[in-house]
């Protein structure tokens, strides 16, 4: 059964490159960017791991911990991390789950038989501090992920939670946000004293 938005991220205790991790304890009050990749020592994955490592200050600024996973062993991950550091000019410090028996990959529905029967596809789970799944994305093995989008989604989710707003297409921090239709104008006056631009009764934009 596939995991849905709003579900509690299934907990697990598993070996990683930073020792054994229990997901819910390790995440604590942080958000989690949990992502799988098909295999160590492969080109697209190497660039993705490097990019995640390079973006460590950006994830930290968003109170977000990164957690990788593939169906390889800790020993393979550790050897590969040296290559990632060398080739991507970074120092990878986040943990990578070792899942050689596919236990976690199957729990999170990361193995898609149309792509491979043993390797994970490029799944993304954004998990909030209450351990709820807030976003899922699935990329095929041949396409590296867009990390600008992953950071943008974290910004949008955190802004939405903080101000009870939604965000329009291609929203970036600093852009106007949407007052959701579930908030009527009376309530909106209290919540958004700065006012709003009413383009339609269902499309109200405000600045925050
Ligand atoms: C890669 O990371 O380059 C890759 C891994 C598995 C299948 C295809 C590409």
pLDDT band, residue 69 (cuts 50/70/90): very high
Q: What pTM value is reported for the model? A: 0.97
- Do 79 and 138 fall into the same domain? yes
pLDDT band of 61, cuts 50, 70, 90? very high
**Token output for 167:** 């965000």
Domain encompassing residue 175: 164-206
Percent of the chain with pLDDT over 70: 100
Q: Are both 24 and 92 inside the same structural domain?
A: yes
Mean pLDDT across the stretch 182-208? Answer: 98
The reply to whether 158 falls in a domain is no
- Helix H or strand E encompassing 15: strand 13-16
Percent of the chain with pLDDT over 90: 99
Q: What are 82-94's pLDDT values in tens digits?
A: 999 999 999 999 9
Query: In this structure, are 34 and 120 located in the same domain?
Result: yes
Does the beta carbon of 142 lie inside 6 Å of ligand 1?
Answer: yes
Q: Which residue has the tokens 């929203």?
A: 171
177 and 128 co-located in one domain: no
Average pLDDT over residues 56-69: 98
- DSSP for residue 180: P
For ligand 1, whether the C-beta of 143 sits within 6 Å is: no
Q: Is the dihedral of CA 184, 189, 192, 196 positive or negative?
A: positive
**Which whole number is the average pLDDT over 173-190?**
98
Q: Do 20 and 92 sit in the same domain of this protein?
A: yes
Mutating to test ligand 1, I would choose from 51, 142, 143, 144 the residue with most ligand atoms within 8 A of its C-beta, which is: 142
The count of structural domains within the chain is 2
Please tell me whether residues 122 and 32 are part of one structural domain: yes
Examine the pLDDT at 1 and tell me if it is beyond 90.
no
Does residue 72 fall inside a structural domain? yes
Measure the CA–CA gap between 158 and 81, rounded to whole angstroms: 30
Asked if 80 and 123 count as a contact pair (C-beta separation under 8 A), the reply is no
Residue 108 shares a structural domain with residue 24: yes
């Amino acid at each position: 059964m596939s995991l849905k938005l709003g579900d509690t991220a299934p907990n697990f205790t598993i070996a990683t490159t930073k020792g054994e991790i229990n997901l819910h304890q390790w995440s604590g009050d942080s958000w989690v960017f949990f992502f799988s990749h098909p295999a160590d020592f492969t080109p697209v994955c190497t660039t993705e791991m490097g990019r995640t490592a390079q973006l460590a200050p950006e994830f930290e600024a968003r109170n977000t911990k990164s957690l990788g996973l593939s169906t390889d062993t800790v020993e393979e991950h550790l050897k590969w991390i040296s290559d990632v550091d060398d080739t991507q000019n970074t120092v990878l410090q986040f943990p990578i789950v070792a899942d050689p028996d596919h236990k976690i990959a199957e729990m999170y529905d990361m193995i898609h038989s149309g792509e491979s029967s043993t390797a994970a596809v490029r799944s993304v789970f954004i998990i909030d501090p209450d351990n709820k799944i807030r976003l899922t994305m699935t990329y095929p093995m041949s396409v590296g992920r867009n990390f600008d989008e992953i950071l943008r989604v974290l910004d949008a989710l955190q802004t939405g939670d903080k101000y009870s707003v939604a965000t329009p297409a291609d929203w970036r921090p600093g852009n106007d946000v949407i007052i959701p239709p579930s908030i009527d104008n009376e309530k909106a006056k209290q919540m958004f004293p700065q006012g709003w631009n009413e383009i339609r009764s269902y499309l109200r934009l405000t600045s925050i």
